[in-house]
Amino acid sequence: MRFFWLLLLLGALVFAITTRHPGVLALSLFVAFVSGLGAVFAFAAARIESTARPDSALLTPEVLAAVRARAAQQRGPAATPAAPAARPVLPPVRSAGSPPSQYLDPGQ
């Protein structure tokens, strides 16, 4: 199928170069664009398919759960995440024009 897209691309480009009508030129360039995209995706799909693992090599959910349980057992309780530290209390924000409260006279 990928070579069909490639041949269609080349045929449409040759047709676009040799035509004298603007409508046929536009249509053949559109066909060339679409078939070019089809060829790129077909070649990419073939490449991905050639390096992909078969579905029979994938682990079942039961096996994955057993692997996770064994990993958690080997890590032990020391690997459990600790509680997050308490956030520090920040002083209140004062406006830009007011003086610091430590310089105010408490009798005012």
Q: Counting every residue, how long is the chain? A: 108
Q: Tens digits of per-residue pLDDT, 24-78?
A: 999 999 999 999 999 999 999 999 988 887 776 778 888 889 989 999 888 876 6
pTM for the whole structure: 0.52
Number of domains comprising the chain: 1
Residue 99 belongs to some domain of the structure: no
Residue 40 belongs to some domain of the structure: yes
Residue 41 belongs to some domain of the structure: yes
Domain that holds residue 9: 1-55
pLDDT at 41: 96
Residue 44 to residue 29: CA distance in whole angstroms: 22
Residue 93 belongs to some domain of the structure: no
Residue 9 belongs to some domain of the structure: yes
The residues, any chain, with a CB within 8 Å of residue 35's CB and separated by 6 or more, are 5, 6, 8, 9, 12
